[in-house]
Amino acid sequence: MSERPAPVRFNLLGPVNVILPDGKAVLPSGAPRAVLVMLLVNANRVVSAEQLASAVWGEDRPSTAIASLRNHILRLRRMLGDDTGLRLRTVAPGYLITTNPGELDVEVFLEECRLGAEQLRVGEIATARRTLSTALDLWRGEPFADLAPCVEGAARAHQLDETRMTAWQDRVDADLRLGRHRELVAELRGLTRAHPLREALHGQLMLALYGADRQAEALAVYQELRKRLVAELGVEPSAQVADLHLRILAADPSLLASVEQSESRERAPGRTAGSGHGGNRPGSGASRTETAKDAPVRYPPRNSLPRDVADFTGRGPETDRLLAAAAAPATSAVVISAIDGMAGVGKTALAVHVAHTLADQYADGQVFIDLHGFTPGQTPLEPGTALARLLRAVGVSEDALPADPEERALLWRSVAAEHRLLIVLDNAVDAAQVRPLLPGSPGSLVLVTSRRRMPALAGAGALSLDVLEPDTAAALFGQVCGPDRIVGQQDAVADIVRLCGYLPLAIRITAARLAHRGAWTPSHLLARLRDRISLPTELRTQDQSVAAAFAVSYDALAPDQQRLFRLAGLHPGDDFSAYALAALADLPLTETEDLVEELHDHHLLIERSPGRYTFHDLLRQHAHGLARCEESDATGQAALERLFDYYSHTAAAAADILYPHESHRRPHPPKPATPTDPLRGEESARIWLDTELTNLITAGTHPVAATNRHSSDLSGILARYLDHYGHYSTSLTLHTAAAEATTATGDLAGHATAQTNLAGSYWLLGRYPDAIDCFQAALLVFRNIEDQAGERRVLTNLGATYAQLSRHQEAIDHFTWAMAAYEAAGDRAGQVIVLNNIGAVCERTKDFEQAARYHRQALALAREVGDHLTEGRALANLGMTLHHLDRPAEAAQVLHQALAIATNAGDRTRQLFALNGLGDIERATDPARALARHHQAREICAAIGDRFELAGCHLRIGDDYQAMGDPGLAQEQWEQSAALYTELNATSQLETVRARLGCEGLPSEEPPRRAVARR
């Protein structure tokens, strides 16, 4: 068996095709073609199955990708006649295609280009022209045109295109030196139009025109080039092209002397091309034996990049984005990527990692300069100083450096235009520091890193780095400390990196501490970190500190920016708006917004969503520590009181918009001196409350709020909203804090109101005995202080609670007392609630006709009052009563109305009542539809934490399964319902469920529901 596969020609420089040994051309199609191209781009190297799958399917990768890949490989082998598997082999973790010298057109092209350039260098002009022409003839179109867009393919294609242009310029140079000036003019006209900023091509056109006795046109080409460079890039033509212009202007005869010299060298015996890669600079028209004045500047390629860290982890999407930007098709501008991010997020590590990846593509040098924008103890590098370092890096001697920074910038752009450089400008302070350091011509790549965003850096692609994802952060921790140190400690590692805020610098420092303490475990380290008051201060090594890194960013701020940063650290919530910060700092909104944008540009604040800002966890601790150190206790307390004034007033304004009929029952704090949000209707008010809910609860439970009325005010302001939208557990927290605060301050009225609100939270959570205790305590206080409105409210609530416990007579008694009080006060909204509740009790005692009368009275009065919430409740109750009266069509119509009102109002409690009622009606005719309704209701119960209604939903779902002929699933649901009712001590409801357990048929008794409502 042959050890080498039969010769095949693979053509990638244009549309893909394969020439088999018999001369037959084959063109694979679809996915096999993409697989073949990806393999050939990496010829004689293993390509993983994952890489191939990405090349074929990208983000739309199917679950069967690997299996499909095997089929594509088999098809390619059959197409290539590779029965032995010598050509296309399976090599873990993927596949490898073998190509021999001369089989891959890309390799032939590159070798011919290299050889032609070497022949031109040693003076074999005619031979070089033939070799370069052969290479260029291989180019049939865009390389890898059939490969789906990917970073690797784009980078290789860009590199080949640059090689092609260099070879083209070398071949033109050979033609010029062979005296073919007239024949080149038309070709060079086309090339300069296609590449209007490529100075070397313009130089060659100038020389061709001059050699064709068209001196005036040659000079005009220079003027057009100069005008374009000045207008588009703000730079003058390079020194070499300017010198050529002067020599043409002077009709220098030596410009054409090289033709004769080249011809004589071509005739000399014994000249052979060497193996080194060189080449005359295109456009000079000069031989390599000319004076140093006419030769290009040469210098040893320099690489001053810092080392690439061996444990570099993650950042795959960011790396791909930077590589793709570098591989983008050539334009008239230098490629600039600006990487910004907070201190310690890994900007420099990413830039250096990418620079090492791309180093081979920038053979003229890789230069790294630290601009010291945020270096402790150092001032930012002046542009003139940085330019001097750049010029030295490309071979300009010290005595040739201009003293004037502007002249240095001009020289830098001129020299950089003739080289392909990779430049890393690290730790920049702002765009003004970077701008003079940028090359003016295409071909080079600049990577900039900064702690500040740089929108003023025109033409730069911005990449803002965030902290690591949790899994990546844990992987980095393991890489730094050693994988063996975290075996079996994954949970501890997850907590450690979370405490580090997933910040790479903090993770590296913490992992390094573990690595150098052999007796420690991740659990031991975690315990130490949890014991520390200030993590930023704790996270340090001998030469690195998170706190120090943050301090440098803070020191770079202006005094007013520093003050806002400190005061923002006092905010007790998770995120905040500019209005909240304006309250903390006692500033106008416009000024606050400007300062917030500056802090955001410095990566000291994160914009989580438009207009909503937050801290990184470690920065929050740092800011809070600064506030405690630099602000007095009185200043800090005053700032928080202004913040809570803002929250209390705006929350009251929002509640008045949503629940205007209850406005008289809520506190109304005065409008604060600081700006407040403009609320323009129900949707705006609801969105504000939803957005600020966590901050409002945090404010209401804050120790500062407990010393004044903020805690009790927020409890009273938010009570209806919290109940309406099912935030039961949250309301329990707020109302408990308000009850404790009012007890401490001796505020009797506030305490009774807080107790009433707290009882309501217990009621909604199904904790009825606790609710009764709180209601009775509140009733006693209201009577003592002669607050009749509070008294009748509590009487209503006590009646609703007794109804839930099936203590029907006690419920009726309390409702009767409450109704008399509401009628005496002329409070019709209160009467609606009592009528609804009495109807619900009648329904529970099987007096459905009487129940319907009460619900109709409640509905009519609710519509008179214009209270849509109570109207929806009355409709829901009436619908269920009609269902019990065996009037399903009328009941369904009423319940649909109730559901529409509840849905439009966002009243999830009434939504679930209406859904349950519709499901109960539909069970007889369509149990599957009934099941869907009850499942939807159960999801609402779970979301709002209403365990009483959740128990009823399980009971109903069990009934649905029973009606569908699945007693096993029915039994499971009934058992869950019984367990919940047992926990709630709901004895009568529990008896209903127990009657179902073990039965064969569907019981006729309907599931219990909470039809009563509190006031």
pLDDT of 288 reads: 29
CA 333 to the chain's CA centroid: 29
For the segment 413-437, what is each residue's pLDDT rounded down to a tens digit?
888 888 889 999 998 988 889 989 9
pLDDT reading at 289 higher than 60: no
Report the C-alpha gap between 32 and 56 in whole angstroms: 8
For the segment 331-359, what is each residue's pLDDT rounded down to a tens digit?
656 788 889 888 888 888 899 989 988 88
Mean pLDDT for 386-402 is 82
pLDDT reading at 498 higher than 90: no
pLDDT of 155 reads: 58
pLDDT of 380 reads: 85
* DSSP structural state of residue 398: G
User: Among the listed ranges 11-25, 48-62, 535-549, which one has the minimum average pLDDT value?
Assistant: 535-549
Q: 41 with 16: CB under 8 angstroms?
A: no
Report the C-alpha gap between 24 and 752 in whole angstroms: 95
Mean pLDDT for 844-863 is 91
Taking phi over 0 as left and psi of -120 to 50 as alpha, with beta for the rest, 614 belongs to beta
Confidence of residue 272 (pLDDT cuts 50, 70, 90): very low
pLDDT reading at 576 higher than 60: yes
Confidence of residue 990 (pLDDT cuts 50, 70, 90): confident
Q: Which of 478, 516, 509, 518 is nearest to 494 (CA)?
A: 478
pLDDT of 376 reads: 63
CB within 8 A of 59, min separation 6: which ones? none
pLDDT of 285 reads: 36
Q: Which residue has the higher pLDDT, 388 or 641?
A: 641
CA 226 to the chain's CA centroid: 44
pLDDT of 823 reads: 92
Mean pLDDT for 118-144 is 84
Mean pLDDT for 483-509 is 85
pLDDT of 271 reads: 36
Q: Which of 307, 400, 389 is nearest to 355 (CA)?
A: 307
Cα dihedral across residues 989, 995, 996, 997: positive or negative? positive
pLDDT reading at 647 higher than 90: yes
Query: Where do the H-state alpha helices sit in 18-104?
Result: 30-41, 49-57, 65-80
Three-state DSSP class for 17? strand
Confidence of residue 1002 (pLDDT cuts 50, 70, 90): very low
CB within 8 A of 558, min separation 6: which ones? 598
Mean pLDDT for 537-541 is 58
Confidence of residue 292 (pLDDT cuts 50, 70, 90): very low
Mean pLDDT for 928-954 is 88
pLDDT of 361 reads: 87
The answer, yes or no, to whether the previous bond of 93 is cis (omega within 30 of 0) is yes
pLDDT of 671 reads: 93
List of E strands, 508-589: 575-576
CA triplet 553, 557, 563: central angle to 5 degrees? 110
pLDDT reading at 262 higher than 50: no
pLDDT of 161 reads: 80
Report the C-alpha gap between 898 and 515 in whole angstroms: 64
- Residue 980 φ/ψ, nearest 5 degrees: -65, -45
DSSP 401-447: S-SSHHHHHHHHHHHHTTS--EEEEEEES-HHHHGGGS-SSTT-EEE
pLDDT reading at 329 higher than 70: no
Mean pLDDT for 670-694 is 91
pLDDT of 985 reads: 67
- In this structure, the number of other CB atoms found within 10 A of the CB of residue 163 comes to 17
pLDDT reading at 2 higher than 80: no
Q: Which helix (H) or strand (E) holds 614?
A: strand 612-614
pLDDT reading at 978 higher than 70: yes
- Please state, for a pLDDT cut of 90, what percent of the chain lies above it: 29
CB within 8 A of 460, min separation 6: which ones? 336, 337, 338, 448, 454
- Largest separation between any pair of C-alpha atoms in the chain: 126
Confidence of residue 265 (pLDDT cuts 50, 70, 90): very low
Q: 796 with 814: CB under 8 angstroms?
A: yes
Report the C-alpha gap between 314 and 734 in whole angstroms: 42
CB within 8 A of 474, min separation 6: which ones? 490, 493, 494, 497
For the segment 583-613, what is each residue's pLDDT rounded down to a tens digit?
999 999 999 999 998 898 888 888 878 889 9
Both tokens of 854, joined, read 């009460």
pLDDT of 716 reads: 94
> Averaging pLDDT over each range in 190-194, 287-291, 633-637, 998-1002, which range is the top one?
633-637
Q: 19 with 11: CB under 8 angstroms?
A: yes
pLDDT of 781 reads: 94
> Averaging pLDDT over each range in 460-464, 479-483, 535-539, 931-935, which range is the top one?
931-935
Whole-number average pLDDT of the chain: 83
Cα dihedral across residues 555, 556, 561, 567: positive or negative? negative
pLDDT reading at 816 higher than 90: yes
pLDDT reading at 38 higher than 60: yes
Three-state DSSP class for 241? helix
User: Among the listed ranges 158-162, 816-820, 874-878, which one has the minimum average pLDDT value?
Assistant: 158-162
Q: 806 with 799: CB under 8 angstroms?
A: no
Three-state DSSP class for 98? coil
pLDDT of 267 reads: 42
